[in-house]
Amino acid sequence: MKILTVVGARPQFIKCAPVSRALRKEHEEVLVHTGQHYDREMSDLFFEELRIPRPDYNLGIGSGTHGHQTGAMLAGIEDLILKEEPNCVLVYGDTNSTLAGALAAAKLHVPVAHVEAGLRSFDRRMPEEINRVLTDHCSDLLLAPTETAVENLAREGITGGVHLTGDVMVDALLDNAELARRSSLLDDLGLTTREYRLATVHRAENTDDPTKLTAIVRALTEIGNVVLPCHPRTEKMLKGFGLWEEANEGVRIISPVGYLEMLALEADAAQILTDSGGVQKEAYVLGVPCITMRESTEWVETVQDGWNVLVGSDWQEIVRAAREFVPESGRSDLFGKGDAAVKIVQAVQSFI
């Protein structure tokens, strides 16, 4: 069986690492990097740390508007599918690389398998929500991480080809937890366990709105002792809005970190403040209280279980949550036990 995998953005490299390893035990994988993320600390670093095989192709698409970026990926992936003639195209998550891979394959009648199918924030203003819905509706195999995802698909009439696999991010986290513990980053930054908060911000709805970005900077400054590995999009927008210096005065801003360093920062934080999807899940799995600076989340279980609270981008709400939010309930293995990659490969194998 020959699988063509499409990745392009940071979280997809992390998700594909365990699946790629499981897949290559018995099958051929052609790895395509769209080039959506290209800075070393947003791309190559993950391939090295997670020992992901070098991509067979890098389309080098880079940044752009949604139409230009997705369109260029679509054309490039189509050429590669025609050349490689895979049995199946595997896509991950909800980025423009995901949609381009799924659409290119579906139009060529090549089966599409979607890892992280069925996630919904029910907010169509998010580019990711459009990518999720469209990708699911042109996928043949829907690899759902949670029961909620399976239910979301059923509500949209998608029941065939759906498999509940658990979440591959749990596999990646468990595979790397021990290595992450050896990271010296906390010492290097002079951080003490549970005495700092970790923040990440990159969601377009927050970064591209000067009012929201200003409010987030104000809140993080007010909370104090916050470390923020800064996504390049956020750095660009902070500079563009003239907020960069103010943000650096109030918040410990560092470059984006590798996966092992990120796991180390997350595991020892007192709290995590984020608008990331993956970071919300990792906070839950690691048992760190999470404050999500968004109005909605696709990872609803983390909120229902009492470990995550949605606060939007109102600075006072963020500060209040940072001071008051204490999870009271236990956690369960609702994202799976770390065997999602094996289940995904089995599902693809039995489908082809």
Residue numbers annotated as active site: 202
Choose between 101 and 161: whose C-beta lies nearer to ligand UD1: 101
Q: Which does 336 bind (CB under 5 to 8 A by kind): ligand UD1, ligand UDP, none?
A: none
Q: Which does 38 bind (CB under 5 to 8 A by kind): ligand UD1, ligand UDP, none?
A: ligand UD1
CB of residue 181 to ligand UD1, shortest distance in Å: 24
Choose between 45 and 150: whose C-beta lies nearer to ligand UD1: 45
CB of residue 275 to ligand UD1, shortest distance in Å: 9
Choose between 70 and 200: whose C-beta lies nearer to ligand UDP: 200
List residues binding ligand UD1 (CB under 6 A). 9-11, 36-39, 42, 63, 94-96, 127-128, 202, 232-233, 236
CB of residue 312 to ligand UD1, shortest distance in Å: 18
Q: Which does 89 bind (CB under 5 to 8 A by kind): ligand UDP, ligand UD1, none?
A: none
Q: Which does 351 bind (CB under 5 to 8 A by kind): ligand UDP, ligand UD1, none?
A: none
Choose between 90 and 91: whose C-beta lies nearer to ligand UD1: 91
The answer to whether 13 touches 52, Cβ cutoff 8 Å, is yes
CB of residue 231 to ligand UDP, shortest distance in Å: 6
Q: Which does 257 bind (CB under 5 to 8 A by kind): ligand UD1, ligand UDP, none?
A: ligand UDP
Choose between 96 and 308: whose C-beta lies nearer to ligand UD1: 96
List residues binding ligand UDP (CB under 6 A). 10-11, 14, 200, 202, 229, 256-259, 262, 276-279, 282
